[in-house]
Amino acid sequence: MSRRPYVREVPRTTWFFKHPRYMRYMAREVTCIFIGIYTVILLVGLARLSEGPAQYEGFLEALRQPGSVLFHLLALAFSLYNTFTWFNVAPKALPVQVGDEHWPDSVVSGGHYVVWVGLSLFIRFWAGVL
Amino acid sequence: MTENRMGTRQVELEVLRYNPETDQEPKFQRFTVPCVNEWCVLDALNYLKDNLDSTLSYRWSCHMQVCGSCGMMINGEPKLACKAMLRDYAGVIRVEPLSHFPIERDLVSVADDFMAKLKRVKPYLIPGEKRTLADGEYKQTPAQLERYKKYAMCINCMLCYAACPEYGLTPKFIGPAAISLAHRYNQDSRDGGRDERQEEIATSEGVWECTFVGACSDVCPKHVDPASALQQVKVASTVDWYLEHFMSWVKK
Amino acid sequence: METIQADVAIIGAGGAGLRAAIALAQADPKLRIALVSKVYPMRSHTCAAEGGAAGVIKADDSMKQHFDDTVGGGDWMCDQDAVEYFIHEAPKELTQLEHWGCPWNREADGSVAVRPFGGMKIQRTWFAADKSGFHILHTLFQTSLQFPNIQRYDEFFATDLLVDDGRCQGFTAIEMRSGQMRCFRAGAVIIAGGGAGRMFPFNTNGAIKTGDGMAMAYRAGVPLKDMEFVQYHPTGLPNTGTLLTEACRGEGGVLLNKDNYRFLQDYGMGPETPVGKPQLKTMELGPRDRVSQSIWHEIQKGRAVKTPWGDCVWLDLRHLGEKKINERLPFVRDICISYLGIDPVKEMVPIRPVVHYMMGGIHTDTRAATTLPGLFAAGECACVSINGANRLGSNSLVEILVFGHRAGLSALEHARSMGPGNDAALTAQADDAQAKIRALFLRKPGKESISGLRKEMTDTMEEGAGIYRTQEGLDKTCDKLSDLRRRYGDVALNDKTNVYNTDLLSALELGSMLDCAEAVAVSGRERKESRGAHQRIDFTARDDDKYLRHSMAYYNGLLPPRIDYRDVVITTSPPGVRDYSGAKK
């Protein structure tokens, strides 16, 4: 005789399989784990360096193992994916309005790429690699 | 204006039906609807109701993408039925009420939660400087208008809530449209109510529940870009926090 | 039955209803205001208005000019005391909306911008791109959220007024989500239920515009005034009837026939003005009745553009360029692309005249009061009358504000002067209203269907009471409507359940439309002259001697309405010639 609104529960663990858009979102989020692991490896390298040349050489040797190379390739790919996806949505968080008009998104995200490349070059130059 | 547009085709519509007085749970019902190629899904539903089954319930009014009544899931995507053109669909078209809202009846969802949230964020002008009618209008340059215009385009169709997985998982999340409208007033040069609104939206139930999936902006039929509004509120609220804790001598 | 007690209850939460509610809330924070609507406020059809709202604000303009444009535009059927009040309140209301946050377009210096509009001699139409009605509605709705004493009843379908002791004291309404009947009791009732354009097959109106408010007042004995005046908007999409705003022409769009020839100068609206340089109050900026009628004549002469959707003429916007179209007419562009697959930046758009607006409606005085004490009306459902025989574009968005506000204050004054009502009498009336709905549920299925009767109604309205009318056509339509109203008594519901029963609502809406449609057709049959939007092929001239009078249609049960007349109020502008030839001064 009366109302009985029907609630459709969202599955808490599998919801992201429902739509490719959600899958892409999860991919963006998950790829940051590899960046995290890579950062830990870098810190371990620093610690080894402080312990002396032999320890550091051992660390470098470990890096040359096929498994490690594979991991680094994977981490590179994932961190690039992570970077691109974030740079592409950056204009949403940081829209730039000049006068009556907003800059196109491509200019804002393009700016991020320019700064990224510039900073990378600067660090390499500063570290004496270039 | 090709003849093709006026041609007809049989469209298979799979409509989620639910009548709380006769059904335990929703189930799909298949209809074959003779449609004109240039129709939208809403036209097909109207044909269905007028000719095949008058007991089907759904909301609609303007048929011009502005009243926001006919939001529904069409092949799993939140859409305005008046903006979903049949020419863009092949095969069976599956129509369901908007995700993440309780179903009242057939394609009619319960909008109470959205209405309550909208009210909560104070989506109205709280004047920075009081003016009487005799003082005339506030001056607002085209550039100042541009700062908020996009966010004023929200038609409250709730498609963004149906797209947002955060809202689906955590219903207490204030959600994209309501926060965008709060942001719209925060950005308005005539407004002085930002602090009041931040108390509602710069909170764990507000923007900090958002993980920037971006689905809201993908589905918005009016290009409001709620995802952008929410990220801007996050940035501004972070700046507020730093100013308050480390630079308390700076006036916001 | 649950009773809801309010000081003032409002039926309809579009522009007029919301404006009334806000006026009441501001007048007294303790007042109990019930705002009742069959849809959520932001779904109301105010949202579909595009072009803008007229109000004198610029230095080159004057109240007198707005008055003259409006009265002449209305073919002298406007009540001039109402127009005077309206003109003077207009700028205040528009400024008030600005103070509430309405995103009006601006000049470079930050002042409100205005645009040209049909039939207006001076640019005075305030606008928010081509979504002016949408922004007005949402500004009002959002503003209303700050008043705790505006108690909204969204998705409640009002059915019958409660009248006792010679005054209106409330109404019954169905809560759509539960199907339960509620009794609203109030010291005063305002109807702001919108127009009834859905009685025609080809119209710009939303599905909700079925004249429920008009019909409710009409059935309670309040006359419907000037119902024969139905406005055709010149530029509707030929397939869906979707409105393309008059601002298309205000911004410089032109109308062409199949030979790419501009034709309005052949119908007394010339000489031709240069393309892209629109001149006020002539050619494409003539009033809607004249422009629509010219298109009709052009089509009769065989100069129509043949399209799969019937005979059309072209609307050409291409010379405006993409930038201007995106800035001033973005919605028009979206709609053309969506529904026609035509981008007006690159191609001409086929258009044809489409039913848009009811000039007539519930008879009110300048206080928005009807003839029934305690009942007030504002907006398209009302006829005050500032629109006369033809409304000028951009006057109606202001009308809802000015007279919504006025209705609120008048209702408050009335409610305060009234004592409590007779509970037993009002309860009995509410029970009767409920019994009528129950009877609908119990009726055995017959051979009549809601959609079938609706189709017959819209078809006969177009045939006999369309843009050009004849005695024979109107007679036929009147007979047909009588027949349909009788057969309506045999309509049965397929859906016998309670929750959100749209089958039931469709049946009630059809009843409202049939009542209003008959008032249109019979009033039209009795008006044997041509004036404004009412054009008779058999009586082509305006006849001020006989018909400078408002028609008043009185409900008469299943019989056709009784038509009476009422003098037009003339204060300063005696009937004259409508001149839209720009070159003549």
Mark out chain A residues that contact chain C at CB-CB < 8 A.
1-4
- State how far the Cα of A95 lies from the Cα of C22, in Å rounded to an integer: 36
Examine the residue annotation and report whether C534 is marked as an active-site residue of this protein: no
Mean pLDDT in residue range C89-114? 97
The listed CATH number (2.60.40.10, 1.20.58.100, 3.40.50.970, 2.40.30.210) that belongs to domain C432-556: 1.20.58.100
The pTM for the full model equals 0.96
Mean pLDDT in residue range C308-327? 95
CB contacts, 8 Å: C502 with chain B: 49, 56-58
Mean pLDDT in residue range A21-34? 94
Q: Do A1 and C177 touch (CB under 8 A)?
A: no
* Same-domain check for residues A72 and A103: no
Q: Do B227 and A15 touch (CB under 8 A)?
A: no
Tokens 């008055």, located at residue: C67
Tell me the average pLDDT of chain A.
93
- State how far the Cα of C66 lies from the Cα of C87, in Å rounded to an integer: 7
Mean pLDDT in residue range C264-271? 93
For residues B152 and C135, the answer to whether their CB atoms sit within 8 Å is yes
> B200 — contact with chain C (CB < 8 Å)?
no
Give me the pLDDT at residue C107, please: 96
- Interface mutation vs chain A, best among B112, B228, B234, B235, most A CBs within 10 Å: B228
> B191 — contact with chain A (CB < 8 Å)?
no
CATH superfamily of the domain spanning B112-246:
Alpha-helical ferredoxin (1.10.1060.10)
What does A50-109 look like in DSSP terms, one character per residue?
HH-HHHHHHHHHHHTSHHHHHHHHHHHHHHHHHHHHHHHHHHHHS--EETTEEPPHHHHH
CB contacts, 8 Å: C2 with chain A: none
Contacts of C479 (CB under 8 A, 6+ apart): none
The residue of chain C nearest to residue B145, with distances taken between CA atoms, is C103
- State how far the Cα of C24 lies from the Cα of C8, in Å rounded to an integer: 8
Give me the pLDDT at residue B1, please: 46
CB pairs < 8 Å spanning B and C: 166
* Same-domain check for residues A84 and A103: no
CB contacts, 8 Å: C244 with chain B: none
State yes or no: pLDDT of A83 exceeds 50: yes
* Same-domain check for residues A16 and A70: yes
Q: Do B122 and C146 touch (CB under 8 A)?
A: yes
Contacts of B35 (CB under 8 A, 6+ apart): B8, B9, B10, B11, B43, B44, B47, B86
State yes or no: pLDDT of C166 exceeds 50: yes
Instruction: State ipTM.
Output: 0.97
The residue of chain B nearest to residue A13, with distances taken between CA atoms, is B169
The residue of chain C nearest to residue A1, with distances taken between CA atoms, is C498
Q: Do B20 and A100 touch (CB under 8 A)?
A: no
Q: What confidence tens digit (pLDDT) does each residue in C190-219 have?
A: 999 999 999 999 999 999 999 999 999 999
Mean pLDDT in residue range A92-116? 93
Number of domains in chain A: 2
CB contacts, 8 Å: C240 with chain B: 63-64
Structure tokens that stand for C524 in this block:
């039209």
Mean pLDDT in residue range C526-550? 97
In percent, the amount of chain C with pLDDT more than 90 equals 97
- Can you give the residue ranges of every domain in chain B? 3-109, 112-246
CB contacts, 8 Å: A10 with chain B: 100, 165, 168-169
* Same-domain check for residues A16 and A75: yes
Give me the pLDDT at residue B98, please: 98
Give me the pLDDT at residue B247, please: 85
State yes or no: pLDDT of C431 exceeds 70: yes
Give me the pLDDT at residue B251, please: 62
- Report if residue A120 sits inside a domain: yes
Mean pLDDT in residue range C47-67? 96
The residue of chain B nearest to residue A93, with distances taken between CA atoms, is B231
CATH T-level assignment (fold) for domain C233-356:
Flavocytochrome C3; Chain A, domain 1 (3.90.700)
Closest CA to C208 of C478, C11, C360: C11
* Same-domain check for residues A98 and A64: no
Structure tokens that stand for C318 in this block:
């291409």
* Same-domain check for residues A58 and A105: no
* Same-domain check for residues A34 and A70: yes
CB contacts, 8 Å: B211 with chain A: 25, 29
Considering only CB atoms, A97 lies closest to which of B26, B102, B146, namely B146
Q: What confidence tens digit (pLDDT) does each residue in B169-215 have?
A: 999 999 999 999 999 999 999 999 999 999 999 999 999 999 999 99
Residue C445 pLDDT class (50, 70, 90 cuts): confident
Closest CA to B96 of B81, B82, B111: B81
Give me the pLDDT at residue C123, please: 95
Residue C585 pLDDT class (50, 70, 90 cuts): very low
- Report if residue A21 sits inside a domain: yes
- Can you give the residue ranges of every domain in chain C? 233-356, 432-556
> B129 — contact with chain C (CB < 8 Å)?
no
Considering only CB atoms, B62 lies closest to which of C45, C145, C503, namely C45
The residue of chain C nearest to residue A99, with distances taken between CA atoms, is C108
* Same-domain check for residues A31 and A60: yes
The residue of chain B nearest to residue C140, with distances taken between CA atoms, is B124
Give me the pLDDT at residue C446, please: 80
Distances (CA, A) of C501 to B104, C160, C447: 11, 18, 21
State yes or no: pLDDT of C94 exceeds 50: yes
> C438 — contact with chain A (CB < 8 Å)?
no
Residue A1 pLDDT class (50, 70, 90 cuts): low
Examine the residue annotation and report whether C391 is marked as an active-site residue of this protein: no
pLDDT by residue, tens only, chain B of 252 residues = 445 777 899 999 999 999 999 999 999 999 999 999 999 999 999 999 999 999 999 999 999 999 999 999 999 999 999 999 999 999 999 999 999 999 999 999 999 999 999 999 999 999 999 999 999 999 999 999 999 999 999 999 999 999 999 999 999 999 999 999 999 999 999 999 999 999 999 999 999 999 999 999 999 999 999 999 999 999 999 999 999 899 877 765
- Active-site hit among C233, C262, C328, C356: C233
- Active-site hit among C135, C152, C249, C534: C249
CB contacts, 8 Å: C45 with chain B: 61-62, 67
Mean pLDDT in residue range C133-147? 98
- Interface mutation vs chain C, best among B42, B53, B54, most C CBs within 10 Å: B54
Write the burial class of residue A36 (CB in 10 Å: 0-12 exposed, 13-18 middle, 19+ buried).
Answer: exposed
Distances (CA, A) of C409 to A114, C11, C167, C377, C403: 62, 16, 18, 12, 10
The one-letter code for the residue type at A85 is: T
Give me the pLDDT at residue B52, please: 97
Contacts of C274 (CB under 8 A, 6+ apart): none
The one-letter code for the residue type at B210 is: C
For residues B121 and B184, the answer to whether their CB atoms sit within 8 Å is no
Query: Containing H/E element for B243?
Result: helix B226-246
Residue-range definition of the domain harbouring residue A19: 11-90
Considering only CB atoms, B147 lies closest to which of A3, A29, A97, namely A97
Give me the pLDDT at residue C270, please: 86
Structure tokens that stand for C184 in this block:
């609203």
CATH superfamily of the domain spanning B3-109:
Beta-grasp domain (3.10.20.30)
> B100 — contact with chain A (CB < 8 Å)?
yes
Give me the pLDDT at residue B252, please: 53
Q: What confidence tens digit (pLDDT) does each residue in C6-44 have?
A: 999 999 999 999 999 999 999 999 999 999 999 999 999
- Report if residue A2 sits inside a domain: no
Considering only CB atoms, B231 lies closest to which of A19, A92, A99, namely A92
Considering only CB atoms, C101 lies closest to which of B59, B61, B188, namely B188
